[in-house]
Amino acid sequence: MKLFTVGPVACYPEVLEVMKQQMYSHRSIEYKRLHRETVEFLQSFLETEAHIYLFSSTGTGFMEGAVRNCVNKKILCCINGSFGKRFAEVAVLNGKIVETIEPPLGEPISPDVLDEKLSKCPDVEAVSITHNETSTGLINPLSKLADVVKKHGKLLLVDAVSSMGGTDIKVDKWGIDVCFSSSQKCFGVPPGLGIGSVSKEALKKSETVQNPGWYFNFKIWEKYHKRNSTPMTSTIPQIAGLNQILKTIDELGGKEKFFEVHRKRNRIIRNEIQKQGLSIFPKKGYESPTLSCINTPNNVDGITIYEKMREKGFELAKGYGNLKNTTFRIGNMGYIEFQDITAMLEVLNEVRQDCGW
Ligand SMILES: Cc1ncc(COP(=O)(O)O)c(C=O)c1O
């Protein structure tokens, strides 16, 4: 089966190779060396001096950690789909008061609307933004939104689960306080690792919030960061895999080259989709560089396309949340060869014709 999923994605072969190695203790010199090197790679990749924590959880663990450490009472959640909604739900279930901005599905967060909302809600402590909303295939104008959040002096919490590694994020320049992702997306590593940066301001806030919890407590993580380790058992195979892909990216000539690979795959898929008469769901100009969310016509549902493609050896992704039946998605993250894109698009053309479309 060739994977064009939106996570977990196909893993890079060299990643799988290093993950086979025998285990060692997460308190050993071997681990500390691996941890430190991986953290340094990530700091350079994200252009940040902020400390990087490697959570033994998926990305949602970092989402919960961001809420618990950076918000005492009130957060503003920007919602463009299911994952923005999840951020708000996590905040509600952790006892926070949640303000929201929720444009119609497929439209980005507008910097002007955000500015107006923050002017009306001065007691908001932090703002959450989903950089790349995987459920709708939309990318938000993060650097512009970040400028607004910083103008109002709020903490900025960014879900970069399906963008980190696939498109540039300048953590320090943009002023992001918590920027997190998961191993199973653009880095092409198996699931189980939450990867994120935590600014000095976020860390300071975590020292004053009530009930930050233990597992994702930034203060405890900071203590272990200084020892090049993690408070609990580290997910060593995933960290070794992440370390390997960051090395590969370096060998490829740096992160811009890796982003260009994602853009090229995405461009080929999107151009062909449009040639086949299909349309992309999000508003023009805000299409995700790491996946395409494609509208299905009225008489065919997205799940039929997904199932027919699977029968022919290609796993795409079903529509998600409110778009379950009316869209399907094609991911372009992880280990994908260009010839497989061509083959997948040819098969999609056959499936489309089979469906009388
Ligand atoms: C944008 C976004 N945020 C959060 C998540 C949740 O990530 P995880 O499953 O790693 O917890 C996903 C997963 O698909 C996602 O795409």
CA of 356 to the centre of ligand 1 (A): 34
Dihedral angle of Cα 294, 299, 301, 304, to the nearest 10 degrees: -110
pLDDT tens digit sequence for 46-93: 999 999 999 999 999 999 999 999 999 999 999 999 999 999 999 999
The band of 357, judged by pLDDT with boundaries at 50, 70 and 90, is confident
CA of 83 to the centre of ligand 1 (A): 7
Are 247 and 304 in the same domain?
no
According to DSSP, the residues that pair with 126 across neighbouring strands are 75, 155
Give CA–CA dist 141/108, Å, rounded: 7
pLDDT tens digit sequence for 169-207: 999 999 999 999 999 999 999 999 999 999 999 999 999
Query: Is 261 within a domain?
Result: yes
- Omega of the bond leading into 108 within 30 degrees of 0 (cis): no
Are 128 and 226 in the same domain?
yes
Give CA–CA dist 230/192, Å, rounded: 14
Neighbours of 175 (CB within 10 A): 17
Residue with tokens 């989709």: 273
Q: Give the closest residue (by CA) to ligand 1 atom 12.
A: 161
Q: Is pLDDT of 122 > 90?
A: yes
Q: What is the per-residue pLDDT for 355?
A: 86
Neighbours of 296 (CB within 10 A): 23
Over residues 277-296, the mean pLDDT reads 97
Q: Give the closest residue (by CA) to ligand 1 atom 16.
A: 134
Mean predicted lDDT score pLDDT of the chain = 97
Are 168 and 135 in the same domain?
yes
Are 227 and 296 in the same domain?
no
Over residues 130-141, the mean pLDDT reads 98
Neighbours of 97 (CB within 10 A): 15
3-class SS of residue 225: helix
Q: Give the closest residue (by CA) to ligand 1 atom 15.
A: 161
Are 246 and 260 in the same domain?
no
CA of 355 to the centre of ligand 1 (A): 31
CATH of the domain at 134: 3.40.640.10
8 Å CB contact between 50 and 198: yes
Q: Is pLDDT of 299 > 90?
A: no
Q: Is pLDDT of 298 > 90?
A: no
Domain tally for the chain? 2
Ligand 1 first shell, C-beta below 6 A: 7, 58-60, 83, 130, 134, 159, 161-162, 182
Query: 79: domain range?
Result: 14-251
Give CA–CA dist 261/334, Å, rounded: 10
Q: How many CA atoms lie within 13 A of 218 on its CB side?
A: 31
Q: Per the structure block, which two tokens stand in for 332?
A: 């372009």
pLDDT tens digit sequence for 142-170: 999 999 999 999 999 999 999 999 999 99
Close Cβ partners of 272 (under 8 Å, ≥ 6 residues apart): 345, 348
What backbone phi and psi angles, to 5 degrees, belong to 263? -65, -40
Burial of residue 74 (number of CB atoms within 10 Å: 0-12, 13-18, 19+)? middle
CA of 60 to the centre of ligand 1 (A): 6
The band of 27, judged by pLDDT with boundaries at 50, 70 and 90, is very high
The band of 117, judged by pLDDT with boundaries at 50, 70 and 90, is very high
Please state the atom number of ligand 1 nearest to the C-alpha of residue 135.
16
